A and B are shown apart, each in its own frame.
Chain A
Amino acid sequence: MDSARYEAVAGAIAAPVVTKILIAGGFGVGKTTLVGAISEVRPLRTEEVLSEVGVGVDDTAVVEHKHTTTVAMDFGRITFPSGVVLYLFGTPGQERFWFMWDELAYGALGAVVLADTRRLADCFSSVDYFERRRTPFVVAANKFDGAPEYDTETIRDALDLDSDVPVLLCDARRRDSVKEILIASVTHSLTKHRAAAAHR
């Protein structure tokens, strides 16, 4: 990538102090709901193209005849009085979306893996991803109506989580519940960060 040219341009406006927390989990687990419950802007969504098409670029004929698949991404923002901006990015955790996660996870403060207790296996891939990348994460089990009432230790066992990974119950529709989840995520990241610093 043309970084020299980029950096020359980059000086032009001041970069805000920003950070991001990732929201992962299977389909229908409540990612969009969670981001929307706390974002100061209306829940934003965008999409990323899954299959790389027409990499030979400038070949309009080729691209127009290839279909591309997209994946939705939720996006929320919280601006704190200190001027620090927290972005939330939510996207599915399935392995086929990991190419997107690499950009999202870069420089992320931490991650929240949303779990539906009726389908815990859906979040295995998210857990795997953050373990591998060593991104500090917490697991939040969304309390769906009619879902079995698991306690957090049962969920920890089912997901084979390390003992230091926080597991919480939440309701992604409620702002105060989402707030608690994010606080748990940052607290966990801070703890990990300090432990790593002490080791150096």
Chain B
Amino acid sequence: MTDGGDRWLDREAGPVVRPYALTRGRTRPHGAALGLIDHVAAAGPLVVDARGLGPEHRRLLHLCRAPTAVAELASETDLPLGVVRVLLGDLLERGAVTVARPPAVCTLEESVMRSVLDGLRAL
């Protein structure tokens, strides 16, 4: 395998990892669960109290200067989704990030489907 080395040994059902040391063992975030395509944006630097934030928290803050999907943040940081959700929960709790949840219903609206279809055809 190329990236990630032996973490991807078995590709799909990877080997064993211990990712939760970064979250001090927490497997669930405080507060609400973030969806994969919820968008997270860093609040202004003045708002952020950096005390108690680890390097991964800071990395996430840096990556979401513009609103970014949760799945994308997981990919960019190369951290498991569950870990990223916990870390983002920490940031959310202290007001360091804000979240927008794309309304799930709108994806099933005909206008959105048509727009996707037109977009694909024009690719």
Whether A84 and B116, one on each chain, are in contact in the complex, defined by CB atoms closer than 8 angstroms, is yes
For residue A65, give the distance in angstroms from its CB to the closest CB of chain B: 9
Task: Determine the chain A residues whose CB is within 8 A of the CB of B18 once the complex forms.
Answer: 63-64, 67-68
* Identity of the chain A residue whose Cβ is nearest the Cβ of B113 in the assembled complex: A190
Contact (A5, B32) CB under 8 Å given A71-B13, A84-B115: yes
* Choice from A6, A17, A58, A190 contacting B110 with Cβ under 8 Å: A190
Task: For the complex formed, measure the closest distance between the CB of A154 and the CB atoms of chain B, giving whole angstroms.
Answer: 27
A99 CB-CB contact with B under 8 Å: no
- The interface size of chain A toward B, counting residues with CB under 8 Å, comes to 74
B31 touching A75 by the CB < 8 A rule?
no
Instruction: Kindly state whether residue B80 has any CB partner on chain A within 8 Å.
Output: yes
Contact A193 B110 (CB under 8 A): yes
Chain B 108-121 near chain A by CB (<8 Å), digits 1 or 0: 10101111111111
B25 within 8 A of A: yes
Q: Is A121 in the interface zone, CB < 8 Å from B?
A: no
Closest residue on chain A to residue B20 by CB atoms? A63
Most chain A beta carbons < 10 A, residue from B7, B24, B33, B100: B100
Kindly state whether residue B48 has any CB partner on chain A within 8 Å.
Answer: no
What is the count of residue pairs linking A and B with beta-carbon distances less than 8 angstroms? 210
Which residue of B is nearest A79, CB measured? B119
**Does A151 belong to the interface (CB within 8 Å)?**
no
Interface presence of B16 (CB below 8 A): yes
Interface size for B (C-beta < 8 A) is 64
- Is B60 positioned at the interface, with any CB of A under 8 Å from its CB? no
Which single member of A5, A10, A19, A69 contacts B13 (CB below 8 Å)? A69
B46 within 8 A of A: no
Is there a chain A Cβ closer than 8 Å to B53's Cβ? no
For the complex, what is the distance from the CA of A92 to the CA of B108, rounded to whole Å?
Answer: 24
CB of B27 within 8 A of CB of A108, answer: no
In the complex the two chains form, is B27's CB within 8 Å of A52's CB? yes
Q: Within 8 Å of chain B (Cβ to Cβ): is A86?
A: yes
Q: Would you give the shortest CB distance from B96 to chain A, in whole angstroms?
A: 11
* Contact partners of B25 in chain A: CB under 8 A: 54, 57-64
Q: Which of A100-136 contact B (CB under 8 A)?
A: 103-104, 106-109
Interface residues in B41-95 (C-beta closer than 8 Å to A): 41, 67, 69, 71-72, 74-76, 79-82, 84, 92
A72: interface (CB < 8 Å): yes
Nearest chain A CB to B45's CB is how many angstroms away?
A: 16
The 9 closest A-B pairs by CB, nearest first: A80-B119, A107-B104, A12-B98, A44-B75, A6-B32, A60-B25, A19-B107, A67-B16, A46-B74
Q: Can you sample 25 A-B contacts with CB below 8 Å?
A: A1-B33, A5-B32, A6-B101, A10-B100, A13-B39, A13-B100, A16-B102, A18-B102, A44-B72, A46-B84, A52-B27, A53-B20, A55-B27, A58-B24, A59-B25, A63-B20, A63-B27, A64-B20, A64-B21, A70-B7, A70-B14, A80-B115, A86-B116, A107-B107, A187-B117
